[in-house]
Chains A and B, each alone.
Chain A
Amino acid sequence: MSTIAEKQAVLIEEFEFFDEWMDKYNHIIEMGKAMPVIDAVDKNDDLLVQGCQSKVWLKAEKKGDCVRFFADADAIIAKGIVAMLIDVFDNQPATEVAAADLSFLEEIGLKDHLSPTRANGLMSMIKQMKFYALAFSSAN
């Protein structure tokens, strides 16, 4: 089982392979397409992440000390981005998710690349995931 840091290192390595942003987007899109999504019946408005331009649903479950994350989005790039975050955070200890430093977003250049509105959306997703993790870890 890889740690959050190891998961990030893998993503950084994957993205190093691409010079052009069109190719990076392609990779993000493929991750979005590959992500298992929330059941349609569960996709209610309570799960919507506030502050995203497109609709992003995010659901978390406590599993022992760890957190499971499930998500979906109506736009595929947003879905790919949340898929990356889930790749890093899913099944990790709640305390570590809450405290994690997501340096890979800078390393792969995503943070600088996104427009301010989209960067806010990304921050909202991270905040929501950490919020769940914090709630689960303090419930222990």
Chain B
Amino acid sequence: MSYDVHAIRKEFPILHQQIHGRPLVYLDNAATAQKPLAVIKTITDFYTKDNANVHRGVHTLSQRSTDAMEAVRTAVCAHINAREVAEIIFTRGITDSINTVAFGMGALLQPHQNVVITALEHHSNIVPWQMLCERTGAALRYIPMNDKGELDLSTLELLVDENTAMVAFNHISNALGTINPVKTILNRAKAVGAWTLVDGAQSGPHALVDVQDWDVDFFTLSSHKMYGPTGLGVLYGKRERLETLPPYQGGGEMIATVTMEKSTYADIPHKFEAGTPHIEGIIGFGAALEYINSVGIEAIAAHEAALLDYATTTLSTIDGFRIIGTAEKKASVISFLVEGTHPYDLGVLLDQQGVAVRTGQHCTQPIMDQFCIAGTARASFAMYNTFEEIDLFKAALERAVTMLR
């Protein structure tokens, strides 16, 4: 069956509106994706029928909520092919997931050790490691990138050495769209016995990840970038790593016993889930995962690749159009500048014509510094975008550029 983008669009009510009198063209999907009816309905149904706190009461509603939430844990486990359900932790988002690992490692890291990240990271995969290194005296190292926005792995063996405690990097760059050579980096890290973390913020909605095939220690997902609710992330961790890692936050739900003198912690995953979880978010995320799988992540990826190809070709005909990030392997992100214009001005004039793009540094200041630019405009595509929308985008961009020059 061919990919029916118009049937998919019907499932996303937010797309069918006018912005400043023009049809909305939503191209800010790398920031957050829109939500299908299945997700919206699931959340409404939850509050209409099943809401109660989880893992606590014996009453029927609490049991229903708990079952619904735990069913999502099982679904996530299957989605990324984790070995067991207990390895799936629900967090507040990817930032929270990474902080959970980085904070916990504070008790494990020695001053002579180092943490390796890359020049392509989002601030959320930079700052927690900087804080960890400041606390422990460990060194922070960066794998550099070339002018196309690809990681330069020629120094990988030098950077990742026997003192490397952690190698943390993203699967796909949010700012440039680069798809990183995950296995090559993981293999080097494993060869020296370092722990590994892959940030899946941008891969979650576009690619199938098998954490056992990768043999990665930690992997993170963001619900809201995968058509699910905001405020929810996933931290996958291998059991032995999660058992070694001290908990990040204390509170209810994460303990086994509490006396005024001392508490013992619950087993994983609960050790890392202090407080009442984002129940509605988790259940909504379950619906989002189901929706993604019903369309098929490979079919989505193929559609987005076609959109990226078409957009790259058609936009490049605009005089002075320059793409920042031209890696051989790219996800559906176009970060761009147009000669003689400022990205903020492009963003405003595109919005006036109904086109939503992101402008600025995309939480990746070091990347912008390397390209010696203040920021870019970024268009990013999702399962519901169409070729017609790219034509509208191009026409709007041409009008904006004419006005600005």
On A, residues with C-beta under 8 Å from B are 21-22, 25-26, 29, 53-55, 74-78
Complex CA distance for A75 and B349, rounded to whole angstroms: 12
Question: How far apart are B130's CB and chain A's nearest CB, in angstroms?
Answer: 25
A77 touches B345 (CB 8 A): yes
Q: In the complex, which of the residues A29, A53, A76 has the most CB atoms of chain B within 10 Å of its own CB atom?
A: A76
A29 touches B404 (CB 8 A): yes
Determine the chain A residues whose CB is within 8 A of the CB of B349 once the complex forms: 22, 25
Question: How far apart are A7's CB and chain B's nearest CB, in angstroms?
Answer: 25
Complex CA distance for A54 and B374, rounded to whole angstroms: 9
A78 touches B353 (CB 8 A): no
Q: Quick check: is B20 within 8 A (CB to CB) of the other chain?
A: yes
Question: How far apart are A6's CB and chain B's nearest CB, in angstroms?
Answer: 29
Selected contact of B345 from candidates A21, A55, A75, CB within 8 Å? A75
Complex CA distance for A25 and B345, rounded to whole angstroms: 10
B352 touches A21 (CB 8 A): yes
A29 touches B403 (CB 8 A): yes
Q: Quick check: is B344 within 8 A (CB to CB) of the other chain?
A: yes
Q: Quick check: is B64 within 8 A (CB to CB) of the other chain?
A: no
For B20, the closest partner residue in chain A by CB is A21
Question: How far apart are A124's CB and chain B's nearest CB, in angstroms?
Answer: 15
A75 touches B342 (CB 8 A): yes
Q: Quick check: is B348 within 8 A (CB to CB) of the other chain?
A: yes
For B399, the closest partner residue in chain A by CB is A22
On B, residues with C-beta under 8 Å from A are 20, 341-342, 344-345, 348-349, 352-353, 360, 374, 399, 403-404
For A77, the closest partner residue in chain B by CB is B345
A74 touches B374 (CB 8 A): yes
B344 touches A54 (CB 8 A): yes
A76 touches B345 (CB 8 A): yes
Complex CA distance for A55 and B20, rounded to whole angstroms: 27
Given contacts A25-B403, A29-B403, contact A77 B352 (CB under 8 A): no
Q: Which 8 A-B pairs have the closest CB atoms?
A: A75-B342, A75-B344, A75-B345, A77-B345, A54-B344, A76-B345, A22-B352, A21-B352
Question: How far apart are A61's CB and chain B's nearest CB, in angstroms?
Answer: 27
Complex CA distance for A26 and B348, rounded to whole angstroms: 12
Given contacts A74-B374, A76-B404, contact A25 B352 (CB under 8 A): yes
Determine the chain B residues whose CB is within 8 A of the CB of A22 once the complex forms: 349, 352-353, 399, 403
B348 touches A77 (CB 8 A): yes
Complex CA distance for A53 and B404, rounded to whole angstroms: 18
Selected contact of A74 from candidates B342, B352, B353, B360, CB within 8 Å? B342
Complex CA distance for A26 and B352, rounded to whole angstroms: 12
Complex CA distance for A55 and B360, rounded to whole angstroms: 12
